[in-house]
Structure 1
Amino acid sequence: MAQIFKWLSRLFGAMAVLAALAAALVWVLLGGSLPDYDRDFTVEGVEAPVTLLRDIHAVPHIRGASEADVFFGLGFAHAQDRLWQMETSRRAAEGRLSELFGDVTLPVDRFMRALDLHGLARRALPAQTPEARAALEAYATGVNAFIRAVSQEALGRGAPEFYFFADRIAPWTPADSLAIAKLMALRLSDQAAVEVRRAAISLRLPPERLRDLLPDYPEAAVIEPRQAGLPDAAPRGVDFAGLLGAPTGDAPAAVPTSGPTPGAALPALSPGASGAAPQAAGLAGLRFPAPLGPPTGPQAMPPAGKGGASNGWALGPSRAAAGAPILANDPHLWLSAPSLWYLARLELPSGGIIGATVPGMPLVLVGRNSDFAWGLTSAYVDDADIYIEKLDPEDPSRYLTPDGPAPFAERREIIGLPDGAEAEVLLRWTRHGPVIPPDQLGVGDVTPEGHVAALAWTALGEGDTSFSAGFALMKSRSIDEGAAAMADHVAPAMNVMLADRDDVGMIVAGRAPLRNPASPGRGRLPAPGWIAANDWQGFRDPETLPRILRPESGAVANANNRTEARDYPRHLSFHWGDPYRIRRLEKQLAARDYHSRDSAAALQNDDVSEMARAVLPLIASDLWWTGPVAPEDPIAARRQQALEMLGDWNGEMSEHAPEPLIFAEWMRRLTPRLIEDELGPDARRFDGPQPVFVERVFRNLDGAGVWCDIDKTSAQETCAQIAQLALDDALGALSERYGSAPRGWRWGEAHEARHDHEVLGRFGLLGLIANIRHETSGGDFTLRRSQSQGGRNEPHAARFGAGLRMVVDFADPDSSRVVISTGQSGHPFSRHYDDLNEVWRRGDTIRMSLDFQDAEAGALGLTRLSPPG
């Protein structure tokens, strides 16, 4: 026995030594790329020394003799901290991910090659202002200076990921930055996906039921201050940039009496259609792929309902406790490690700018200077359409247009794969835009045989000046200058919150297509591309887009709600964000006469769900009063206990409470119970809660209560019965996973924030280091938004959220606050990889100061970039 223990001890000792050696090897290899923030470099491309002072949170404060030198420094800092993130973003925009990751990303690369984002970016360079072009060139030079330093000074390949994948990196170019800006726009737009989903569902439902499941934005959510029970003088009201009163510009064009209503089915793709406006019709005679189902495989654009979101508001002096404007903004995007955002301070000759950047772009997207602050929310402008193009039966290399057949603009490209393999792709472009692969956006499900789908999108136009508009915005000094700067913004359409030292405002910026009043689809459905009436008629004048400067109410706010009440075709969109966050925001802003920097930060972390408060009484009312249950019925007893708990709940989505978990799972189970018998496999297009639909059903608006009856049975099911069945489903699933005692369940156990590293996070032990995960409060419809992606596995995990929070207070600008969701570094072995995550998680922030003495206190180091000699 002693001999056995002796050999076991040796075996375990050897294993420990091997593990230590492996850990040491990993550290030597990966740790070599850890940035040194207190090291000087001799670099080419600067006129005079540039200094990068890293404050206690590793935020670089960059000073140089010229504007070009400062942007050189930003490029160097971005590359030093986030080179891998920049490289994968650039490759995604170029359609070159498969060179690293193989076949799994081929569908995305094909789609990105079809869009030609990088080609559009190259051609857009001459359209930028001279100042913007100079910044792009200086930034690219700074990135390349760091890449050269990695090679010359053995800095561990610049990022640990390069040890596993590419060991070479191409020089950075100004077009790469513009391409990443277009990639951002792509990831924020779900209008095309919404259009395809509506088309697929219209093939299964009559118009009145389609209006239930995909309703117009609820009128009750379009709130004007006087509608909210506030005094007419509105000292506490809010303008929801709203401008929901009389529209500016031309009166809305009349809507034609012919053609389908907004909820009608897909227009007929009649083989004999001419340039005249088609009449509404079904799809008889057309052959569609079968079975119709949700899109599968990697998707380059977000699915329907998962586009960008945000909260933003600004309070003028009359609403601020300290008598100076306050601006708050928290963009909601995908969570990742490292975060999409990177904090930086630029000391330009014209003054300091501080805020949030995106690595790869020389631009402060959300931030402030000494006199002006700005924030962004998604405007949900309908800036994209799917066109169904009919192939010429005589020559499939041509497609039909109102003027007869026309050739596709074609090109062939090679997509590289690992180990030297290649994939050839044929890319085609129509007069409306690129032909979309059928596996993207689900267009294959709604494209008849002999047709292809093309994407018209404002970001695919030539000469996009969005970067120059953003560059001018961050250098503006007043709300008037900021509003004027964004006149040249193209895509994505944004609501821009503005504040200076005197007042506040908000504008909608971006190209808004004008559609033909005779177009039967009204931009809500894929349109026959050979019908002239379906073509865009140009774009709205930027001066006619919603804007309000110096509001009488003293406040503006937006949570992706509708910003204009015009009718089609001069409307902005039929598809908007949820109505519940703006209700909560309006209620809380109106709850007090004056707000402070602290109350604004608290509101960003508000986790009360107005959706739960609106929907729970509807689905539970008939179940709360069913009386006592038989003791021998454990399912009924569990149901009654859950209902009692929900009856005492105030809608707060706290990570420590069980009620949010019960309600969220109930809502997740309820929609399939209502729609699966009608939609079959297409029910999966609605993964996750659909509260506006549920409200319509349980209020029986326009007969929507019919959804509660299962049409495949002879019985007449009631909504109360369906609600009970869904609740029992939910409680059964939760009991299996979290135990049989509901009072011991916790929302946070299921609602885990997933800041995952897209590459290293998939490598077992490395994933434990690279992925940042923690429980979190909030939900899909709270101001503290932490949105799930749905799915069968981990359906409540939070994968979207406010990766950036900012509050600017002009009463004391250098006490303004900001935080990002992870840390500044993209290196998992750096202590600044996740140091800000704990600050973000507890709802706290760090100072956002333009005072260099604040940055020097506890600074990590000073990097000096000096020209040769």
Structure 2
Amino acid sequence: MPRRTPQFALDRLRTPRRFHGFLKTASVCVLIAGLLSPFSQAMAAEAAPVNAAAAANDYCGGQCSDILPPGENGNATLAQILLNQAFGTQPGHAEDQLGPYAGLPTGYSSLTDAKINDFFNDASFGVPSDQVASTEKPAGRGDVTIVRDKKSGVPHITGTTRYGTEFGAGYAAAEDRLWLMDVFRHVGRGQLTAFAGGAASNQGLEQEFWRNAPYTEADLQGQIDNAVAKAGPRGRQALADVNAYLAGVNAYIDASDSGRYFPGEYVLTGHKDAITNAGTIEHFKVTDLVALASVIGSLFGSGGGGEVNNALSLLAAQAKYGVQEGTKVWESFRERNDPEAVLTVHDGRSFPYATKPDSAQGEALPDAGSVTQEPLVYDRTGSAATSAAKGASTTAAKTSLSSARRGMSNALVVGGKSTASGHPVAVFGPQTGYFAPQLLMLQEIQGPGISARGASFAGLSMYVELGRGQDYSWSATTSGQDIIDTYAVELCQDDYHYLYHGACTAMDKVEQTNSWKPTVADGTAAGSYTMRVWRTKYGPVEYRATVGGKKVAYTTLRSSFLHEADSIIGFQMLNDPDYVKGPQDFQQATQHINFTFNWFYADSSHVAYYNSGDNPVRASGVDAEFPVWARQGYEWRNWDPATNTADYTPASAHPNSVDQDYYVSWNNKQALDYATASWGDGSVHRGNLLEDRVKKLVAAGGVTRASLTRAMADAALADLRAEDVLPELLKVIDSSAVTDSTAAAAVSKLQAWVTAGAKRTETSAGSKAYANADAIRILDAWWPLLVKAEFEPGLGSDLYAAITNNLPIDESPSAGHGPTGSHAGSAFQYGWWSYVDKDIRTVLGEQVSGPLAQKYCGGGSLSACRDVLISTLKQAAGMTAAQVYPGDDQCSAGDQWCADSIVQRALGGIKHGKISWQNRPTFQQVVEYTSHR
């Protein structure tokens, strides 16, 4: 399956034919009456307003805001789905955050602090009495109340007991995201097709996740047992919280079933009958939450992997240039520790991790042409095989989630010395993709030992995972440091036995068989297949090859494998007002999170940063970039295969900081000498868009919430190539030397765009047409042409293709081939921006720190490079909009705005409209605290 944000076949949910007539007759009224939304029926139980406006524990002074499109309500009854698909009507609070979110690109230039909540929600604690939409005592409990506000329908959960508080959190989660929670517990178990139908994209999704976390029920339960035992009193409290949360979820399932206002997708996928109410919605159990956590951890917090691809590109470089020069070339493209890379911790401190050893030990590079991917699918019947399930590949080009091609979140944090008020200001949030309903949900939780508001992943919302406490806010970006290693296990006896410490040992076979029936959701025929993973003590088998003629299996071992549940303790601490009272407490809390994230903090006086993750201590001489032999001398230090535990680097060795002047992060490099698994951390990175703007604000001083938000929004509309690379390309071309009229006109348009700010912005709000549209089209067409023409002649086709497998050349907003796919919003995370920048500056004779090993454009000749650029520019300028933007299931060919547009990919039956492109977090906070406890 392509490395991209998952796109479910669930977005194909369609109205079953037997319900079409209801939309044309009065029968729809009967259907609606019988399938009322929980927002109109269950929540109307109490109308008495609750005044929680002046919360005594809120120290933000009305200066905390947040936003999470499309809307808080992610559940829809069958009637609401039918009406949405027939007439476009929306359930209450299903998309009311989409408009303000979409409006920022055309409204940010005149933004003031007073106007921030035109584009964000007020994230103060509590709900003013005149803003209470409803109150509810879930399941009639007297120890918890759920209040929802009028503006966004966010649940504000207040409990007098810890159990009641968590019960309310579970109940509210099910009210807002029951169907999505059910989808993801099945994805985590590799059972999506059996649950939602056998569409090809459903198959590909469950295969990708299950390959990386092929857990049995015993594995899932073992995670809970181990996490609780390891964490002592906090672990026992976490388990109690989870059980109370599950009780709330299941209470809502029972209530919605008996009241017949459960999500309509259960009818559309055959789990419930709309007429008789026959069928069941299964209760949730504790292992379901571990399955959910394994999906989220794999998707956003599991950096590393890709060692086999790295080996293939290194071998290609050595084949082209010889071992010594080829290795030098490969290292220059890898940019392990590029001196020109933007850093989050920029105070000069070094945090060595996974650095290049002087003399690598234990490397197990494959023999040329021997690598095949381990097949996952067996015994297929019914639907045709998908590309993700076909036979073994001859290359390792299509890696899965372990490739670390995720991340997309950003953070802008400025210390009080540079702000107008003297208090820190932060604008930050995670980019989790655009879905309907959204993967995250908003909530406020107030109860014994818990006081927080913010976003949580649906089904894991017993705590707020990203948001604010009483006098502090926190957020995260994906960091991607390497916690995954590839081991070459020597085979013995047959293909399913391997040497472990000298003994021939059988691999464990883990299988998952799925059968599905035809459903109205996807229209596929009935079918079934079995997924099979072979597990070793060194992790699941991903590839097979030979090394020096010996047959091996390449396995993938990650430190978070069998430990996704461990991170619950860190989130519990972040929600505990008695634990987090300052930046050091925040850092200690995030240290308990084993997923690979950059964490940011702001209160009224301090800012802070910490990089989390269980970073294994590798054996001396092991190069984390490449596969190593599965032998005792190359294992992680004190590694125990029974529990997959080892020695991990101490907290002080993780990039960390308190009260640096400012922090920026857009999935860029964390600190000097700290190795990430990502390629492309070089001179031009998406993080530069934030660095340049925030550094300028800090130098001027007087930073406000509005000015920092404007900086974020400005960067969100910038074309990285046009802002940071195009000026150099135009310098090489030299407009005065261009004689071809087509090329000259293109140069003129591109220069005008750069002068205008190099942004992809509408001519006016809602115009659905770009200013500088021709220039944007030309660059979109030119970039892949120029990169290929610049580098392939020198590298050769094999090495060029191999490095492209490590790092795609382009990820513009319309580039459906990029890691995040079409209509995903996030762009410019992965591309050859730095390579082009360094090469062009070298050809121009400019100073380059950390240059590529050779000159490539025109063979290093300035005049020949100019010819290459002009010829490819002429070709690009001659391409029509329909050629550059060929159209897809969302857009007609040639529609430039639509090709860039953000689509809320449907995970259920409700659809939303497209919005204009912006490169921005999904959930986002704007905060400035006025006081502290």
Same fold (TM over 0.5): yes
- Matched with 2:186 is 91
Decide whether aligned partners of structure 1 residues 446 and 397 sit closer, same or farther in structure 2, where only a CA change above 3 A counts.
closer
For the pair 1:283 / 2:388, whether they are aligned, the reply is no
Deviation, structure 1 residue 433: 1.1
1:281 Cα deviation after fit: 7.2
> Do the aligned residues in 1 keep the contact of 2:467 with 2:474 (CA within 8 Å)?
yes
Amino acid at match of 1:699: R
Residues 1:346 and 2:445 aligned together: yes
Give the drift of 1:647: 5.4
Identify the residue that residue 8 of structure 1 maps to in structure 2: none
Evaluate the alpha carbon distance shift between residue 676 and residue 534 of structure 1 in structure 2; reply closer, same or farther with a 3 A threshold: farther
2:714 to 602, 606, 610: 606
* 2:915 alignment partner in structure 1: 774
Distance (whole Å) between structure 2 residues aligned to residue 657 and residue 730 of structure 1: 19
Q: What does residue 613 of structure 2 align with?
A: 510
1:191–1:445 CA distance, 2 compared to 1 (3 A): farther
Aligned counterpart, 2:497: 398
The 1:594/1:159 distance shift into structure 2, 3 A limit, reads farther
Counterpart of 1:388 in structure 2 is: 488
Amino acid at match of 1:487: Q
1:485 paired to 2:589: yes
Could you say what secondary structure the match of 2:626 adopts?
coil
Candidates 636, 644, 669, aligned match of 2:785: 669
TM-score (structure 1 length as normaliser):
0.72
What is the alpha-carbon distance in structure 2 between the residues aligned to residue 602 and residue 187 of structure 1? 29
Partner of 2:269: 164
Aligned equivalent of 2:48: none
Q: Deviations over 1:417-466 (max 9, x none)?
A: 33685433443211211223x5xxxx899999943332111210448420
Amino acid at match of 2:771: A
AA aligned opposite 1:590: V
CA positional deviation for 1:691: 0.3
Residue of structure 1 in register with 2:704 after alignment: 596
Deviations 1:465-523 (A, max 9, x none): 20111111122232222222223221x2112112233322111122112222322xx11
* Partners of 1:674 and 1:20 in 2: CA distance: 60
Residue 587 of structure 1 pairs with residue 695 of structure 2? yes
Question: What does residue 523 of structure 1 align with?
Answer: 624
Distance 2:599 2:36 in 1: 38
SS of residue matched to 1:83: helix
- Contact 1:45-1:141 within 8 A present in 2 as well: no
Partner of 1:544: 652
C-alpha spacing 1:72/1:617, structure 2 compared with 1 (3 Å)? same
Q: Does 1:320 align with 2:423?
A: no
RMSD value over aligned CA atoms? 3.9
Secondary structure at 1:651's aligned position in 2? coil
Per-residue deviation, 1:770: 0.7
Distance (whole Å) between structure 2 residues aligned to residue 626 and residue 752 of structure 1 = 36
- The 5-angstrom pairing of residues 249-264 of structure 1 reads 256-259=357-360
Change (3 A) 1:214 1:572: closer
Aligned equivalent of 1:455: 556
| Paired letter, 1:653 | R
Q: Residue 416 in 1 paired to residue 519 in 2? A: no
Whether contact under 8 Å (1:623, 1:724) holds in the other structure is yes
TM-score, with structure 2 as normaliser = 0.68
Tell whether 2:294 aligns with 1:182. yes
* Structure 2 CA distance for partners of 1:137 and 1:365, relative to 1, 3 Å: same
Determine the C-alpha separation between the residues in 1 that align with 2:141 and 2:487. Answer: 49
1:430 aligns with 2:571: no
The answer to whether the 8 A contact 1:181-1:467 is kept is: no
- How far residue 732 of structure 1 moved from its aligned partner, in angstroms, is 2.6
Q: Equivalent residue for 2:879?
A: 733
Q: Does 1:807 align with 2:905?
A: no
Secondary structure of the structure 1 residue equivalent to 2:581: coil
**Matched residue SS, 2:255:** helix
Give the partner amino acid of 1:383: I
Gaps of 5+ in 1: 1-16, 224-239, 260-276, 740-744, 761-768, 778-784, 786-800, 815-869
For 1:444 and 1:450, locate their aligned partners in 2 and report how far apart those are by CA, in whole Å. 6
Structure 1 residues 195 and 728 mapped into 2: Cα distance closer, same or farther (>3 Å)?
farther
Partners in 2 of 1:546 and 1:462 — Cα distance? 20
Q: 1:496 to 1:27 in 2, by over 3 A?
A: farther
* 2:761 is the alignment partner of 1:654: yes
CA 1:246 to 1:89, structure 2 compared with 1: closer, same or farther past 3 Å?
Answer: closer
Q: 1:679 aligns with which of 777, 787, 797?
A: 797
Counterpart for residue 690 of structure 1: 832
Q: Hey, what's the Cα distance between the residues in 2 that align with 1:78 and 1:415? A: 28
Q: Is 1:556–2:660 an aligned residue pair?
A: no
| 1:544 maps to amino acid | S
Q: How far apart, CA to CA, are the structure 2 residues paired with 1:624 and 1:643?
A: 12
1:415 Cα deviation after fit: 2.6
2:313 counterpart SS class: helix
How much does 1:728 deviate? Answer: 2.8
What residue is the counterpart of 2:570 in the other structure?
Answer: 469
5+ residue gaps, structure 2, are: 1-18, 46-135, 229-234, 273-279, 318-325, 374-391, 519-525, 639-645, 763-769, 811-830, 843-847, 886-893
Secondary structure of 1:314's match?
Answer: strand
* 1:236 aligned partner: none
Which stretch of structure 1 is more off in the superposition, 85-94 or 334-343? 334-343
> C-alpha distance in 1, partners of 2:436/2:698?
36
Amino acid at match of 1:773: K
Question: Which stretch has the larger CA shift, 443-452 or 745-754?
Answer: 443-452
Q: What is the aligned length?
A: 705
What is the distance in 2 between the residues matched to 1:254 and 1:153? 59
Corresponding residue of 1:834: none
Match of 1:116 in 2: 214
2:366/2:547 contact within 8 Å kept: no
Please give the alpha-carbon distance, in whole angstroms, between the structure 2 residues aligned to 1:96 and 1:374. 34
Task: Tell me the equivalent position of 2:732.
Answer: 622
Identity of matched residues, %:
19
Could you tell which deviates more after superposition, 28-37 or 114-123?
A: 28-37
Q: Distance in 2 between matches of 1:375 and 1:613?
A: 27
What code does the residue aligned with 1:751 have? D
Residue aligning to 2:146: 51
Deviations 1:731-766 (A, max 9, x none): 233444589xxxxx9964532112221454xxxxxx
Alpha-carbon shift at residue 543 of structure 1 (Å): 2.4
Q: Secondary structure at the match of 1:561?
A: coil
Tell me, yes or no, if the aligned pair for 2:610 and 2:656 is still in contact at 8 Å. Answer: yes
Q: Is the 8 A contact 2:743 2:870 kept in 1?
A: no
**Alignment pair present for 1:220 and 2:225:** no
Partner-residue secondary structure (3-state), 1:460: coil
Answer whether contact 1:654 1:660 (CA < 8 A) is retained.
no
| 1:753 aligned residue | 902
Q: Which residue of 1 aligns with 2:473?
A: 373
> In 2, Cα distance between the equivalents of 1:191 and 1:254?
15
Amino acid at match of 2:901: E
